[in-house]
Amino acid sequence: MKVKVGLIGLFDMLKFKNLAKNRKELIDSTSAKALPYSYVVNDLAKLYHPYKQKLIIEKIVEEGKDVKSFILTSNEKLAPFKAGSYISIYVQINNEIASRAYSLSSSPLDVAKGFYRITIKRAPHGLVSNYMLDHAKVGDELYASEPGGFLTYNRLRDAKNVIAVAGGVGITPFISMAKAINDHVEDFNLTILYGVNKKEDIIFKDEIDYLNKTDKVKIVYVFAKEEVPGYPHGFITSDLIKQYAKDEYSVFATGPRGLLDSLVNELPKLNLPKKYIRLEQSPLCLKSEPVEYKIRVHVNGEVVDIKAKSTETILQALEHSNISIRSKCHLGGCGFCRSKLISGCYEATKFENIKEIDRKFNYIHPCCSYPRSNMEIEVYEY
């Protein structure tokens, strides 16, 4: 046995001895033809992570009172996405660029058919939402980020059964998930508790009726403000979730603040492991005395002074001054808007999820940070 090992070692040494010679022979015998211009892996990376997507509004569908869906196409290939993802769209409103994230309500398979669908509800003071509802028209062009998000199913982390709690237009990512299951792109059991005030507030009624016939999908309306025979009435509580839960289950939730705030109190009663609970909530605006500050912005080698209100995020202040920076989640979680703080004070919302190393080297997330003094920052234009 010892002799055998020794021989192998000897052969290895001989191979090593000839390494340089063999390599030179190989190089000399290789064709002088230029290397391919593109590589599959680079093309895939570009497809999955486009820097920017130029989208065209192909169709607008009224889904209900103050709710519209927008079918968005592109002359390029659209980036694929996982059900539950969002895109951040950028629109020009007067002289400002404004960006907001919206969940995709289409199936991931629809990308192959060449479209995304986002669904938007009017919101009090919703700059982009209200602009889209009132002014966007078929044929308009807009830019969008690559899709992303945390509210997606991962079979390594999540239980095989998912209870999705949705309020109002918060149903959109779960409609995408239900469609993905129906299209066999995802494989888990999904029960959606869809909270609405009244019957007239339901959106996607026909799609829900259709999806409810899918084996692994069940969508239950929960009416808060009217009693409808056969359906739960009131708020979505831990008891209601338990009623529809079976075996091991995860809970995903998104919707209006009132619903999410009440779930923050309800969900601990389920005693689920932390990894089984996923809430997608937009940060509360931080309250403060209205004060106007100045932010010195370094962008593209130039220095620009802009005004910033204490009641608005730094991202909003940049957008009001027509400075567009990269953003995706608008929740403080993705890091896409990461910018360098040179001086000054800011306050970040509690959902900001900044890496320790970024904090150490003075990076901030302008999407969820509010100025608390005059500041100087460096941003990366989009």
Q: How far is the CB of 301 from ligand FES (least distance, A)?
A: 23
Neighbour count for residue 180 (Cβ, 10 Å)? 26
Of 68, 179, 320, 330, the one binding ligand FES by CB under 6 A: 330
Residue closest to 105 by CA, chosen among 174, 187, 54: 174
Of 168, 328, 348, 375, the one binding ligand FES by CB under 6 A: 328
- Distance between CA 105 and CA 96 in Å, rounded? 27
Q: How many chain residues bind ligand FES (CB under 6 A)? A: 12
Per-position x/- string for 268-307, each x denoting binding to ligand FES as judged by CB under 6 A, each - no binding: ----------------------------------------
Q: If binding is defined by CB under 6 A, does position 64 make contact with ligand FES? A: no
Q: If binding is defined by CB under 6 A, does position 336 make contact with ligand FES? A: yes
- From the list 61-69, 111-119, 289-297, 330-338, the region that binds ligand FES by CB under 6 A is 330-338
Q: Which two tokens stand for residue 180?
A: 């993905």
343 with 364: CB under 8 angstroms? no
- Distance between CA 315 and CA 318 in Å, rounded? 5
Q: If binding is defined by CB under 6 A, does position 82 make contact with ligand FES? A: no
Of 333, 341, 344, 379, the one binding ligand FES by CB under 6 A: 333
- DSSP for 29-73 reads HS--PPPPS--HHHHHHHHHS-S-EEEEEEEEEEEETTEEEEEEE
Residue closest to 128 by CA, chosen among 71, 88, 177, 69: 88
- Distance between CA 5 and CA 86 in Å, rounded? 58
Of 85, 161, 281, 327, the one binding ligand FES by CB under 6 A: 327
Q: How far is the CB of 180 from ligand FES (least distance, A)?
A: 23
Of 203, 260, 367, 375, the one binding ligand FES by CB under 6 A: 367
Q: How far is the CB of 62 from ligand FES (least distance, A)?
A: 30
Neighbour count for residue 170 (Cβ, 10 Å)? 23
Q: If binding is defined by CB under 6 A, does position 128 make contact with ligand FES? A: no
Q: If binding is defined by CB under 6 A, does position 332 make contact with ligand FES? A: yes
Amino acid residing at 193 = L
Binding site for ligand FES (CB under 6 A): 327-330, 332-337, 365, 367
